[in-house]
Amino acid sequence: MLRIIRERLLQGYRTMRYPRGKAPELPERFRGLPVVDADKRVGGCTDCREACPTGAIALDTDRRLVLDMGRCIFCGACEAACPQGAIRFTRDYRLTARRRADLIVGSEGFSRAEALAARLRRLLGRSLRLRQVSAGGCGACEADANVLSTVGWDMGRFGIQFVASPRHADGLLVTGPVTKNMRLALEKTWEAIPEPKILIASGSCAISGGIFAGSPETSDGVGNILPVDLFVPGCPPHPLTLLDGLLRLLGKIP
């Protein structure tokens, strides 16, 4: 026992201090919030749209360039293909939104996720239990969500934990494009969670179907089946992006 105590003292405090302190350093290859400058789209250039593997780049009703983060897999192909630099990816990890339409980024910018209604914050703000369902995911979104339970991140200090049973949960975190074989299991899991409850779509597959969008074997995201309270874009979303979204949802950060 004395040896264990000594070792803990030598190791010190291992959990990051975010959000009170500085956010952890992100890897060099990290791509965050995209910035779209439609004014640089000269002569109706379509290079970025043609380079996008998921059709995330389009023109709005005013023929201005927009990028759908719900479909984007953050591969960077559009940024590399655009000769004018109309699209670039920043280092900003704050990508989550409450409404699907808010994930469509244009020249006017981006509206981040807002907190739940006051009644739900009172119920869930101090203790939020989530059941995670991989609805046909590849494992990447699931792995990065699980990172939040490790000592370095420790989302339990905010009262947020993953649980094994939906009957013990306050909400559902869904990853994957919702394949035909997983749809019934997902619906039954959702029904087993007592009211009031929330649903989080994590990753481009869960939001839009991602690279599998349009396949007859998927539902093109959970939003076509169940009501979503928080959208977390990415392929996969960085753990910091998911944690930031959860804390915003609970009103713990502005």
At 198-232, the pLDDT tens digits run: 999 999 999 999 999 999 999 999 999 999 999 99
Q: Judge whether 22 lies within some domain.
A: no
Sheet of strand 230-232, all strands in order from the earlier edge strand to the far edge? 160-162, 128-134, 171-175, 198-202, 230-232
- Cα(181)–Cα(231) distance, integer angstroms: 23
- At residue 10, the pLDDT reads 77
Preceding amide of 196 cis, omega within 30: yes
- Nearest Cα neighbor of 132 from 6, 23, 30, 232 is 232
- Sign, Cα dihedral of 163, 165, 167, 171: positive
C-alpha triplet 42, 44, 48: angle, nearest 5° = 90
* Cβ–Cβ under 8 Å, residues 96 and 232: yes
* Residue 170 neighbours by CB under 8 Å, 6+ apart: 123, 124, 127, 128, 129, 130, 193, 196, 197, 198
- What CATH number has the domain bearing residue 43? 3.30.70.20
* Cβ–Cβ under 8 Å, residues 200 and 171: yes
Residues 136 and 88 in one domain: no
- At residue 107, the pLDDT reads 74
- Cα(50)–Cα(59) distance, integer angstroms: 13
| 32-48 residue pLDDT tens | 999 998 777 656 678 88
- What CATH number has the domain bearing residue 245? 3.40.50.12280
Residues 79 and 138 in one domain: no
- At residue 25, the pLDDT reads 87
Residues 126 and 198 in one domain: yes
In a 13 Å sphere around the CA of 210, the CA atoms on its Cβ side amount to: 27
| 58-68 residue pLDDT tens | 988 888 889 99
Rounded average pLDDT over 144-172: 96
> What domain range includes position 224?
118-249
User: Is the pLDDT reported for residue 157 higher than 80?
Assistant: yes
Work out the number of other CB atoms within 10 angstroms of the CB of residue 6: 10
Residues 155 and 237 in one domain: yes
